[in-house]
Structure 1
Amino acid sequence: MKKKILITGGTGRFGNHLKHTITKHKLFFPTKKQFNILNINSMLRYFKKIKPDIVIHLAGFSRPMELHDKEINKSINLNIKGTANITMACSQKNIKLIYFSTHYVYPGINGNYNEEDPLKPFNNYAWSKLGGECSVMLYKNSLILRVCMTERPFVHKKAFTNVKTSFLYQDEVAKILFKLLNKKGIINVGGNAQNIYNFAKKENKNIKKIYQNKNLIKIPFDSSMNVKKLKKILKLNS
């Protein structure tokens, strides 16, 4: 069934992929001026204008992640308050809300995390995304996607061999997204667990190996996710 889908953060990297993804649904990409996530009345006015069936919430403060340590007001306003505002606006109009969270909400130590595992965000960025999750969880007509994705082509010339993750490329996630519109709850969205070097080497044979220093940890050593739930859904939809 064709849906009207409002997408926040349409000017971001992933939002641009969605603009070029073929779908039967009608997509709306409002500007920040048209749809201000810090102003509920602004959002309600836009809802009244286009009457969306679904809101996909991508907008927020993301990278570089280190800025979340220095600019906590921005982090709180955009990722926590902004998401809470969207949740309240959607709940007023009973609009389905799909929220993009991150795999960094998991501890990142043992890997293979499933959707019910305990959470311990790795950094301030992940805490801000978990703050957003908290408000979305209160609203039952919602879906939280804990996503592990990166740009294609892989942007770095070197990749860690001792860091494990569940990367998918952004264009792959864009195609998967429209198969999850009717789902609710929480779904891990990522690929098979592997070290970053092996992931990147598939498309760049010249990528160099590097190792993350245990005394200078920039990203979790193993933030890989269990994606059995996702694979089961995609198999049923194939």
Structure 2
Amino acid sequence: MLKKIVITGGDGRFAQILKKDDKKLNILYPDKKELNILNINSINKYLKKNKPKYLIHAAALSRPMNIHDKQISKSIDLNIIGTANIVKVCSNLKIKLIYFSTGYVYEGKIGNYKEKDPVFPVNNYAWSKLGGECAVTMYKNSLILRIIMCEKPFLHEYAFHDINTNFMFHEEVVKIIPKILDKTGILNVGGEIQSVYSFAMKTKKNVKKKSGKKIFPKNVSMNVGKLKKIMKW
């Protein structure tokens, strides 16, 4: 029998892609009403009722990026306090926790960052995700995934030609999930290092070039050697 998994943010972008291809997994997809990460009682009630072995914490406030500057309280509530609440309940109920963080927690100046390299977030969104990481790290039966992912095909009209990263499509991350459920610690998750423009061109040939220097550091790429060993790529 497949071990039960709960994913927070069950109505979110990634969860909907996962839902299309989860035949190898036994996953529950609660929405915000069923499992409210800002309400400890809601989390407790849902997890005690469903008794999962794993919880994937994907619920978060992400786009637009400037919302984390304009609505700091909302960012803190959803990405830091909500995550801390999830950690509290998972640790009490002894549920394995897998947390979706971001590769933007690294400084972004030299690129090819390994999991043990120092972190220095590039924006408020990344700070909020690092705040979540702090709580998750306190619970040893956990895995932090520093992910750079996006929708397929590439959504935006423009792509940065002078910013290097490790973008990976949601569909590719879905294939990784079954292989990492029992891992712990921190794991960089991404594709090959390339410019955002090069990545975008693979699925959107008419994407336009744009400079991202005023928005991001030039190289926020991660070293994914650890992931490659797990996946046997």
TM-score, normalising length from structure 2? 0.96
| Aligned counterparts of 2:157 and 2:72: Cα–Cα separation in 1 | 31
Matches within 5 A, 1:124-139: 124-139=124-139
Matches within 5 A, 1:61-72: 61-72=61-72
Match of 1:97 in 2: 97
What is the total number of aligned residue pairs between the two structures?
A: 233
| Aligned counterparts of 2:171 and 2:205: Cα–Cα separation in 1 | 21
Structure 2 residue ranges without an equivalent (≥5): none
Match of 1:14 in 2: 14
| Aligned counterparts of 2:193 and 2:60: Cα–Cα separation in 1 | 27
Q: Identity of paired residues, percent?
A: 58
Match of 1:226 in 2: 223
Match of 1:201 in 2: 201
Amino acid at match of 2:126: A
| Aligned counterparts of 1:62 and 1:3: Cα–Cα separation in 2 | 29
Match of 2:150 in 1: 150
- In the TM superposition, residue 33 of structure 1 has moved relative to its aligned partner by 1.6
Higher deviation after alignment, 153-162 or 51-60: 153-162
Amino acid at match of 1:46: Y
For the Cα contact (< 8 Å) 2:152–2:203, is it kept in 1? no
Give the match's secondary structure for 1:78.
Answer: helix
Amino acid at match of 1:44: N
Give the match's secondary structure for 1:63.
Answer: coil
Give the match's secondary structure for 1:80.
Answer: helix
Amino acid at match of 2:222: M
Q: CA RMSD in A?
A: 1.3
TM-score, normalising length from structure 1? 0.94
Deviation string, structure 1 residues 32-78 (Cα, Å, up to 9, x no partner): 12111111121111112111000000111111111101111111111
Deviation string, structure 1 residues 1-28 (Cα, Å, up to 9, x no partner): 6210000001111111111113322111
- In the TM superposition, residue 128 of structure 1 has moved relative to its aligned partner by 0.4
| Aligned counterparts of 1:151 and 1:204: Cα–Cα separation in 2 | 12
Match of 1:185 in 2: 185
Structure 1 residue ranges without an equivalent (≥5): none
Give the match's secondary structure for 1:152.
Answer: coil
| Aligned counterparts of 1:233 and 1:169: Cα–Cα separation in 2 | 19
| Aligned counterparts of 1:61 and 1:132: Cα–Cα separation in 2 | 12
Match of 1:42 in 2: 42
Amino acid at match of 2:196: I
Match of 1:119 in 2: 119
Deviation string, structure 1 residues 75-109 (Cα, Å, up to 9, x no partner): 11111000000000000010000000001100011
Give the match's secondary structure for 2:223.
Answer: coil
Runs of 4+ in 1 over 3 A off after TM superposition: none
